[in-house]
Amino acid sequence: MSHSLLTADRGTHIKIVVVSLLGAILIVLAGIAAHVSAGSEIARLQAHAPVVKAGKPKVLANSE
């Protein structure tokens, strides 16, 4: 049995491509599921205190 990809036959290369594609799809699906569940929890948050808004910008300069 050879452990080199250079001497592997066509079937071995196809198996490697299929396994890598399935792994990539699994990672993408896990990312989508995590994003969707995180978004639904954030949407339910409510502010119980007054909201602080930013004031007018200030310019700090020194003319030396």
Tens of pLDDT, residues 36-46:
554 455 555 66
What is the domain extent for residue 42?
A: 1-64
Q: What is the pLDDT of residue 39?
A: 47
Cα angle: 43, vertex 49, 53; to 5 degrees: 85
**Rounded to an integer, what distance in angstroms lies between the CA atom of residue 33 and that of residue 40?**
11
Measured distance CA(35)–CA(25) in Å, rounded: 15
Query: Considering its fold, how many domains does the chain have in total?
Result: 1
**pLDDT tens per residue across span 2-52:** 677 788 888 888 999 999 999 999 999 998 887 655 445 555 566 678 878
DSSP assignment, residue 44? T
pTM, 2 dp: 0.49
Q: How many CA atoms lie within 13 A of 31 on its CB side?
A: 6
